[in-house]
Amino acid sequence: MTSVPTADAGSDHAASPAFPDSIDVGYERAQTLGAIRSHHFNAAGSALPPAPVVSRVIAHLRLEEEIGGYEAAARARDEVEDVYSAAAQLLGARADEIALFDSASTGLRVLLDALAPAPGTRLVASRSTYVSHALHLMTMNRATEVELVVAPTDEGRRISIEALDEMLSDGRPTIVTVAHVPTSSGLVEPAAEVGRVAGKHGATYILDATQSVGQLDIDVKAIGCHVLATTGRKFLRAPRGTALAYVDAAFAAEHLPTAPDVRGAQWHSAFDWEVAAGARRFETWEANVAARLGMGVALRQAITRGMPATEVWLSETASDIREALRKIPGVTVADPVGAHAAIVTFVIDAVAPAQVVSELAAKQISAVSVPATHGQWDLGDRGIPSVVRISPHVYNDQNDVDALISSIAAISAGEAGTA
């Protein structure tokens, strides 16, 4: 392994070979308390937030304590507005095309329901679909006269663009929904190619970017999706309970929320109301203002760090981890061929993933096990009951990676309790 940078205590700059002046790992670690207390490899679950994010949340809570929640929100109004601008800048959108939610699952549910698919509509979902969204799709399929189809895949288990093109050529009303990066592997779906095919055939395109925003450089206009939803807590390093969605302006204008709220609608006569323009028509009034302000800081940090550099650094780091794991006897990397996102999955012969995670935790290494129940169309389809998931971020250095690899080797060798 050569491309994972080490934070050098004698230097204020540590960098990736591909972008020697782009990712300052020493700086990222210095502002990340958890990075010096453990080896954290769970960015795909909930990344370590940087100190400025935490400080902003606490400061607003203190203001609420002092003057009240409504009054504190009024003072922060301009900064909250900047959250929309920052999200738009990160995604290549307009501020009026951004909606804020408490979770990506909420955003996906609200926006899919707003489509109100008519009987005979076809729902085409990627095998990479996460359990929460899959359950919604299956419920919609069971409760209404819509068809649910799992999209055909290629040899790398990505959506087959050729097969999708052929499928959509019949002209049926179709909603295509894709998980950009799944919870269960480092696969990256061909999002822009899906967008080209969906646009060609007039299909509606929803992108679940829960695991990609913050690690991949994303331009929604280039991708061609009508809707993108993501969480704050993962690779964006924002607080839990935050999320955002991009809603194409034309899509927003044509669709209404199924449960309008005072945030996105005005009740102007006894039995009539008018919804707001833009993506905010899908929002609700109540929100954790402190957490949203923290997300704004996280968004600005991601923009400043630079997403092209971040994407390459994370991809190379994950690639090095996969390469190292493949050299350990008894360890099998579970990622599909060609996977290159900052999520690495593996199994160890005769050691349950949950036990691996427990033994790693005893060595201050954070990882998670992902069961097939979180991705039946992926792990279940492959006959894999569960995997160990590793997901690095820019605060991980070579010492972290060395500790991870040596610990996994020890577990595989049956050396429980050893480094």
| Assigned domain for 350 exists | yes
> Under a CB-based contact definition with an 8 Å cutoff, are residues 311 and 217 in contact?
yes
170, 310: one domain: no
| Assigned domain for 129 exists | yes
109, 209: one domain: yes
Helix 104-115, helix 131-143: angle, nearest 10:
20
321, 298: one domain: no
- How far apart, in whole angstroms, are the C-alpha atoms of residue 305 and residue 314? 13
Specify the number of domains making up the chain.
2
146, 267: one domain: yes
Contacts of residue 72, Cβ cutoff 8 Å, sequence gap at least 6: 60, 63, 64, 66, 289
> Under a CB-based contact definition with an 8 Å cutoff, are residues 117 and 126 in contact?
no
| Assigned domain for 12 exists | no
Which of these three, 304, 338, 369, is where a domain ends? Answer: 304
User: Can you say whether residue 414 is alpha, beta or left, with left for phi > 0 and alpha for psi between -120 and 50 degrees?
Assistant: left
What is the three-state SS of 136-176?
A: HHHHHHHHCCCEEEECCECCCCCECHHHHHHHHCCCCCEEE
Pairing status of strand 174-179 against strand 204-208: parallel
Contacts of residue 98, Cβ cutoff 8 Å, sequence gap at least 6: 84, 87, 88, 91, 244, 245, 246, 247, 279
- CATH number for 184: 3.40.640.10
Which pTM value belongs to this model? Answer: 0.93
Q: Please report, in tens digits, the pLDDT of each residue of the chain (419 residues total).
A: 333 333 333 333 233 333 334 799 999 999 999 999 999 999 999 999 999 999 999 999 999 999 999 999 999 999 999 999 999 999 999 999 999 999 999 999 999 999 999 999 999 999 999 999 999 999 999 999 999 999 999 999 999 999 999 999 999 999 999 999 999 999 999 999 999 999 999 999 999 999 999 999 999 999 999 999 999 999 999 999 999 999 999 999 999 999 999 999 999 999 999 999 999 999 999 999 999 999 999 999 999 999 999 999 999 999 999 999 999 999 999 999 999 999 999 999 999 999 999 999 999 999 999 999 999 999 999 999 999 999 999 999 999 999 999 999 999 999 855 44
Q: Which domain holds residue 207?
A: 54-304
Which of these three, 255, 283, 304, is where a domain ends? Answer: 304
